[in-house]
Amino acid sequence: MKEKKEVVELVEKKGTGHPDTLCDSLCEEASKALSRYYLQHFGNVLHHNIDKGLLVAGASKVRFGGGKIKKPAEVIIAGRATSRVGEHIIPVKKIITGAVKGYLKQFSLARFKVVVDVKPGAANLVEVFKRKIPVANDTSFGVSHFPLSYLESLVSEVGILIDSESFRKDYPAVGRDFKVMGFRHGDKVVLTLAIAFISKFVKDMQHYKALKEKIVSEVRQKFKVEVFLNTLDSYEDASSVYLTVSGLSAEQGDDGQVGRGNRFNGLITPNRPMSLEALAGKNVNHPGKLYQILAYKIAKDVYEKTNADYVEVKMLAQIGRPLSEPQVVSLRIEGNAPKAESIVRENLKNIRKIQKEIVFS
């Protein structure tokens, strides 16, 4: 039995340079860098949650053919992390700052100020990491589904196209900050795109309009759907269209926050069950991170290894209990999947392997 298609469906994808995506990516890079340090020096990932991140927009003056960033955007990373083990002092701030600045290098036209304010973790949560088996350090849940719907796949593919090196080579004016919003009513699909254009590659208003028309035409022809791009534009002057110095809206008034970006599958899908928990920056013993990833993996495995047409997974952990023993794992399956339970158990047996894959991904 095929999953029933709702009459109205909405799907969103935020690009790699979107302020919310940036916050998620920076906190996750910081967590991975810390986790690798902990593993190298202590053989285990120690307690940390660096999942409080904020991007405060800067200021710029833009013009066709150029412009200037007048004030850098400010990245603030906050949270908790183990900073000492016996006499070993862990350079937490240095590790996090290095990871953040390293990631930001790819946005070479932008300017950022980085602030790191991370304190030691709560004693009872630190103790959780001393246990021999992975234990949940919070009561939290994860949900996911597989496969993607037509609209979800479409929005994902359009986002991948816009963010590809080949697309940016064809359109140097296309910045890394973009958003794809998909809307389906019955069988009719409409995409609304927002793309930050890089001013030094746009000669004048006519050139800007021509680039927009060419991009819309290419996306429309490739995906056979109705497409709109930068619909706020009023074409009065450079300040009235989506023109930036760096290709990021963060340079001129668009702030960002951890947890407001894409879910683990790279999309925001209000028609599906979703967790509002910020995955980025959490340690691998946090079910708000681990179970979101594990729920996706289980849903995908069940779909690919059985005759299921659609799989939805919900997992709940209780603080202090082994992560391999969730309080509940609930599957909603369309189709035939008699091996689903064994697939769930196999994934739960591989908790430590999955955690390491997250850290080194």
User: Of all helices (H) and strands (E), which one includes residue 297?
Assistant: helix 287-305
At residue 123, the 3 state secondary structure works out as: helix
Residue 134 has a pLDDT of 87
Residue 129 has a pLDDT of 55
pLDDT at 123 over 70: no
Read off the pLDDT of residues 289-310 as tens digits, 9 standing for 90 and up. 999 999 999 999 999 999 999 9
Class of the CATH-defined domain 19-128: alpha beta
Measured between its terminal Cα atoms, the distance across the chain in Å is 36
Residue 356 has a pLDDT of 94
Banded model confidence at residue 241, pLDDT cuts 50, 70, 90: very high
pTM of the predicted model as reported, rounded to 2 decimal places: 0.94
- Sign of the torsion formed by the C-alpha atoms of 256, 260, 265 and 268: negative
Tokens of 113: 């100020």
Residue 5 has a pLDDT of 79
Domain boundaries, the chain: 8-15+149-255, 19-128, 140-148+261-359
Mean pLDDT along residues 65-85: 96
pLDDT at 1 over 70: no
Banded model confidence at residue 53, pLDDT cuts 50, 70, 90: very high
pLDDT at 261 over 50: yes
Class of the CATH-defined domain 140-148+261-359: alpha beta
Residue 195, φ and ψ in degrees, nearest 5? -130, 125
Read off the pLDDT of residues 3-41 as tens digits, 9 standing for 90 and up. 567 999 999 999 999 999 999 999 999 999 999 999 999
Identical fold between 8-15+149-255 and 19-128: yes
Q: What is the 3-state secondary structure (H, E, C) of 173-217?
A: CEEEEEEEEEEEECCEEEEEEEEEEEHHHCCCHHHHHHHHHHHHH
Report, at the CATH architecture level, how domain 8-15+149-255 is classified: 2-Layer Sandwich (3.30)
Banded model confidence at residue 133, pLDDT cuts 50, 70, 90: confident
Residue 304 has a pLDDT of 97
Residue 253 has a pLDDT of 85
Pairing outcome for strands 256-257 and 48-56: antiparallel
Residue 234 has a pLDDT of 96
